[in-house]
Amino acid sequence: MSSVPDLTGAVTCASIWKSFGEGEAKVDVLRGVNFMAALGEMTFLVGPSGCGKTTLISIIAGLLAPDSGTVSLFGERLSLLAPRERILFRRQYLGFVFQQYNLLPAFTAAENVAVPLVAAGWGRENAIGKAREVLTHLGLAHRTELVPQLLSGGQQQRVALARALVHEPRLIICDEPTAALDHRSGESVMERLATSAIHPDRAVIVVTHDSRVFHFAHRIIEMEDGLIRSSKKIESLNQP
Amino acid sequence: MISMAFTMLSHDGPKFLAMVLAIAMAAFLTQNQASFLVSFLAMSDSQIRDVREADLWVMDSSTECFDQAKPLKDTAAEIVRGFPGVKWALTLLKVDAPARTEAGKLSSVTILGVPEQSKVGEPRMNIGDSSVLDERDSAVIDPGGMALLYPGETFRPGMRIRIHDKWLQIKGVSNASPPFTGFPIIHVSHSTAIQLNRAESRCTTFVVGRFEADADRGKVTREIRAATGWKALTREEFEEASSRFYMDQGVPHLFYITITVGLIVGAAFSGQTFLMFVKENARAFTTLKVLGFTHGQLAVMVATMAGIVVVLGLALGTMLAVGTSFSAATMPFFRSLYLPWQVTLLCCISIGLITLITAGFAFKKVLNLEPADVFRS
Ligand SMILES: Nc1ncnc2c1ncn2[C@@H]1O[C@H](COP(=O)(O)OP(=O)(O)O)[C@@H](O)[C@H]1O
Ligand SMILES: [Mg+2]
């Protein structure tokens, strides 16, 4: 219970406990997790399905509250923020990539990418303009006006990646970003992620159990049964 | 944010359309039925208002409205004239009789006798001049009567109508207000009316009159009542009594029911569809929450969506209601039909309020979405 949060890490979790359910049905999903993700790195969180990876990143993102333990992002304790401030913090500092892309089906690629900017109060024209820029950067210049339904899975995930980058957040959280993609598309998305997201002032957390993309990791943290089992620094073989 | 709301809404075309149409239906039904109700209530006392010169009405104590009246004895006008505060009083004869045209069209008609000297109750005219009533066996008919007895025909001199066994020349078309009964209104001279009064020996349906300018009306009517046992009412009291008579018959309830059903079905259907829309877009709303939309921003989005639906629906429904009331007003029986702006305002406010409540529920649904579900598929 007594580990001191390390403020040099971008993300520091100390002794996180989280359970779901009550009484008989109570399940301890996280059992005292200590976790750190450093600036300038891609931290992979791996482990078998059901071991608590998604629960952990939900807590890191402030979408779930831990039963106990502390989370700090860039020195800020999320649990100490008022609900509204937590939303504003997330809007400014966090970007997300989801397994199911979670693009809004009614919006074009550019409109989807513009959402975080619109949320931050940008005017529509400026937001769309910036969104097109980021999409172009990710090789989707010719797809900006299409709705998600007309895009391939790999393209949709690149749009989602653009949405996670457009507001230049300091932490990007990806949950199984390649799980719904074939190998080639997955590889391409990870390459884009590696080239665009890695930045000395930014941390990237990738939850995955897709071992084919492990070579993109700077650090691999292995989880099992609600606990961190190992944390390995990967020497820079494949780093861009 | 507003254009985002519109894009999301219009993306689900069928639901969007269903919501707008449901609101439009509610707006149309309520306004249409309310305008009928208002117009019918106006009809319930229209014949009293048409006797413009009279502000005192005396009738048998059992008479409750203009259309169903028990006659008074024929000296009644003289008796009423004798009361202090009464400037003048005279006999009004109303006869209900079966009528037949040369083409064989049949209808009950309401015949009103216009006194030869005073011309009290003389109609305003659309075609011709009311002085024709001075001529022997002549009559004027109202537009509703023209439409009913001479369908498809326009007025031409020489048209005839047979009442009992007497043929009358129709010499003009009056502008009489539509009566509640829907029967044609035939104006004739008082003496002609007496000849047509076959079912009754007495020829005084009402005594109509005027108060002296400085008379205490309440006192005058009380005195007439006390002395004669008849009902003596000011024009306003009689109008109100006639309207109340019809209201008590249950006529308005039909309208109330339709209005309520229109509101509930239209608004409930639209509201239900809106909640369904939010539910089906739960993933999108959850994503917006996670990407940093504040509660205020989400409220603006939901309110914008509800606002777009309700404004389009109300506009469409009101246009339909106005159109219907205009086109109905071209039909003689509905010629007094109108849509008061107060009705439109009230209907729009009620539907607006119901929509606001629904939008509140929808917003609550959005607030209750679990942000962490964004990672679940
Ligand atoms: N909201 C919840 N209610 C109940 N159980 C949950 C909830 N969220 C996750 N769990 C359970 O917690 C465990 C870990 O889930 P999760 O964090 O999604 O695992 P992973 O992402 O590693 O596959 C699973 O057994 C899952 O069923
Ligand atoms: Mg998971």
Instruction: Indicate the range of B104-113, B213-222, B255-264, B356-365 predicted with least confidence.
Output: B255-264
Burial of A39 (0-12, 13-18, 19+ CB in 10 A): middle
- Which residues 6+ apart lie within 8 Å of B253 measured at CB? none
* Predicted local confidence at residue A237, as pLDDT: 53
Q: Which of B246, B232, B202, B210 is nearest to B65 (CA)?
A: B246
Mean pLDDT of B215-231: 94
User: Is residue B294 less than 8 Å (CB to CB) from chain A?
Assistant: yes
pLDDT of amino acid A236: 61
Orientation angle between helical segments B251-280 and B13-44, nearest 10 degrees: 170
> CB–CB of B291 and A120 under 8 A?
no
A104 touches chain B (CB under 8 A): yes
CB within 8 Å of chain A, chain B residues 269-288: 283-284, 287-288
Establish if A61 touches chain B: CB-CB under 8 angstroms. Answer: yes
Mean pLDDT over A108-117 rounds to 97
Q: How far apart are CA A92 and CA B57, in angstroms?
A: 80
- B6-37 confidence digits (pLDDT tens): 999 999 999 999 999 999 999 999 999 998 88
3-state secondary structure A103-143: CCCCCCHHHHHHHHHHHCCCCHHHHHHHHHHHHHHCCCHHH
The per-residue pLDDT for A1 is 39
Q: Give, in degrees to the nearest 5, the angle at Cα A30 between A24 and A34.
A: 155
Question: Which residue would you say has higher pLDDT here, B335 or A17?
Answer: A17
Do the chains contact at B292 and A120, CB–CB below 8 Å?
yes
- Span B119-124, mean pLDDT? 92
CA–centroid distance, residue A28 to ligand 2 (Å): 16
Which pLDDT score, from 0 to 100, does residue B290 have? 96
Interface of B with A in 334-373 (CB under 8 A): 371-372
Domain spans, chain A = 11-233
**How close is the Cα of B374 to the center of ligand 1, in Å?**
13
Task: Note whether A105 contacts B: Cβ–Cβ < 8 A.
Answer: yes
Angle, CA of A160, A10 and A71, to the nearest 5°? 95
- For residue B3, the chain A residues in CB contact (below 8 A) are 124
Tell me which of A1-5, A86-90, B75-79 is least confident. Answer: A1-5
Two tokens at B150?
């001479």
For residue A104, give the chain B residue with the closest CA.
Answer: B284
Q: Give the binding-site residues of ligand 1, using a 6 Å CB cut-off.
A: A 20-21, 29, 49-55
Task: Pick from A13, A19, A22, A27 the residue to mutate for probing ligand 1's pocket: most ligand atoms within 8 Å of its CB.
Answer: A27
One of 3.10.105.10, 3.40.50.720, 3.40.50.300, 3.40.462.40 is the CATH number of A11-233, namely 3.40.50.300
- Would you state the pLDDT for residue B238? 95
Among B1, B277, B290, B293, the strongest candidate for a mutation testing the A interface, having the largest count of A CBs within 10 A, is: B290
> Is B375's Cβ below 8 Å from some Cβ in A?
yes
The neighbour count for residue B155, using CB atoms within 10 Å, is 17
Give Cα separations from B315 to A96, A165, B319, B344 (angstroms): 42, 43, 6, 11
| C-alpha closest to that of B214 among B84, B317, B24 | B84
Please determine, for residue A2, whether its predicted confidence score (pLDDT) is greater than 50: no
pLDDT at A155: 95
Conformational region of residue B212, where left means phi above 0, alpha means psi within -120 to 50, and beta covers everything else: beta
Asked whether A210 and A179 are in contact (CB, 8 A), the reply is yes
Phi, psi of A118 (to 5 degrees): -60, -40
Is the separation of the CB atoms in B115 and B109 below 8 Å? no
Query: pLDDT class for B1, splitting at 50, 70, 90?
Result: confident
pLDDT at residue B265 is higher than 90: no
Rounded to an integer, the average pLDDT of A105-111 is 96
Please answer whether residues B366 and B278 qualify as being in contact, where contact means their C-beta atoms are separated by less than 8 angstroms.
yes
Percentage of chain B lying above the pLDDT 90 cut? 71
Q: Calculate mean pLDDT across residues B279-290.
A: 95
pLDDT at A140 over 70: yes
pLDDT at A7 over 70: no
Q: At residue B196, does pLDDT exceed 50?
A: yes
- What are A184-230's pLDDT values in tens digits? 999 999 999 998 888 888 999 999 988 889 999 999 999 999 999 99
Q: What is the pLDDT of residue B302?
A: 95
Put the strands of the sheet holding B86-92 in their side by side order: B86-92, B206-211, B56-59, B231-234
CA A100, CA B19: separation in Å to the nearest integer?
30
CB atoms within 10 A of CB A32: 16
pLDDT tens digits for B232-246? 999 999 999 998 998
- Higher per-residue pLDDT: B40 or B286: B286
Nearest CA distance, A100 vs chain B (angstrom): 7
Strand A27-37 and strand A76-77: pairing?
unpaired
CB B313 within 8 A of CB B5: no
Contact B123, B47 (CB under 8 A): no
Q: pLDDT tier at B282 (50, 70, 90 boundaries)?
A: very high
With cut-offs at 50, 70 and 90, classify the pLDDT of residue A78.
Answer: confident
Mean pLDDT of A112-128: 95
Q: What pLDDT score was predicted for residue A4?
A: 44
Query: What pLDDT, on a 0 to 100 scale, did the predictor assign at position B43?
Result: 86
Q: How many whole angstroms separate alpha carbon A9 and alpha carbon A12?
A: 6
Name, in order, each residue with C-beta under 8 angstroms of B125's C-beta and a sequence gap of 6 or more.
B140, B172, B173, B174, B175
- Inter-chain residue contact A64 with B372, CB threshold 8 Å: yes
- Cβ of B284 and A104 within 8 Å? yes
pLDDT at B40 over 60: yes
- Segment B296-350, tens digit of pLDDT: 999 999 999 999 999 999 999 999 999 998 888 777 667 778 888 999 999 999 9
Sign of CA dihedral B286, B291, B297, B300: negative
pLDDT for the residue numbered A8 = 59
Check residue A3 and give its pLDDT: 44
